[in-house]
Amino acid sequence: MSKHLPYFLGCPAWSNREWIGKVFRTGTDTNNLLREYSRVFNTVEANTLFYALPPMATVERWMAESADGFRFAPKFPKAISHERRLSGADEENKAFFKVLEALSHGDKLGVSFLQLPPSFNINNLDTLREYLKSLPGDFPYAIEPRHISFYDGADNERRLDDLLENQGIDKVVFDTRPLWSSEPDEKERKARERKPQMPVRQIALGKHPIIRFVGKNKVEKNEIFIKEWASVINKWILEGKKPYLFGHAGDDAFAPFVARRLHLQLKRINPLLPELPEFESDRIKPEKEIEQLDLF
């Protein structure tokens, strides 16, 4: 799958044990979760790097355990983005780029995304500009703004977009609309506390637009948003771009099903797309999700 899918599809992590017997094959050893994950998906948000950089031996193991064509999408460490706020982080930068270099040499590096702190606003644009200029040019990057000043639909937003586009850097779209679209269950309510509502711009500034789609736990409730995104994503694919799509949910036990729902809708409008590998639950309820799609 990973060699032929014309875009990257994945989840926030690979190590969710709740996926065993549902997404992963029954009896999957917990030491083989990455192998099993990369059998189904071809990318993952490497969010663990945000909190701490792994030893190089761990990075080597990740590359060995993941399938050919698989890509990690590392998140910049919070020591760089949130603590140093992109200034005076030379040592932290060197350590992070060493990880990126190893993944790149192993042909396992995807887009690295820099999530800006919630208080990092348009007045800090010069700081962002200088930091982006310092980045090694060998790797692909994306920026995730988290302050409303970057979404004014006017001069501020154009200044950011022009900066990114001129440097071939993509902008992350963080779409939490589904999560807020109806009355939440308990886990969705907690997820709302962690995940902000950001304006959604269906924009591609570079070769690898990134969508982080936060769906409802009952995946059928995400359908109106999935249909909206599918036409946009398919247009990007036809233009020769290779997007990254990450399915989240209020409870990430359901994230793989949100991600697959995106693919199923894409395949409905682009039948030449390959099938995703089977989830373990397909053996119990074959084609259930595809049948449900016909209801909408």
Domain ranges of the chain: 8-293
pLDDT along the chain (296 residues), means of 10: 80 96 95 96 96 97 97 98 97 97 98 97 98 95 97 97 96 96 95 93 95 96 97 97 97 97 96 93 61 46
CATH code of the domain made up of 8-293: 3.20.20.410
pLDDT of residue 286: 47
pLDDT of residue 4: 80
- What are 137's two structure tokens? 């040019």
Instruction: Look at phi and psi of residue 85 and say left if phi exceeds 0, alpha if psi is from -120 to 50, else beta.
Output: left
CA gap 109, 132 in Å, rounded: 19
pLDDT of residue 283: 75
Is 186 exposed, middle or buried (CB count within 10 Å of its CB: 0-12, 13-18, 19+)? Answer: exposed
Rounded CA Rg of the chain: 19
Q: Global pTM?
A: 0.93
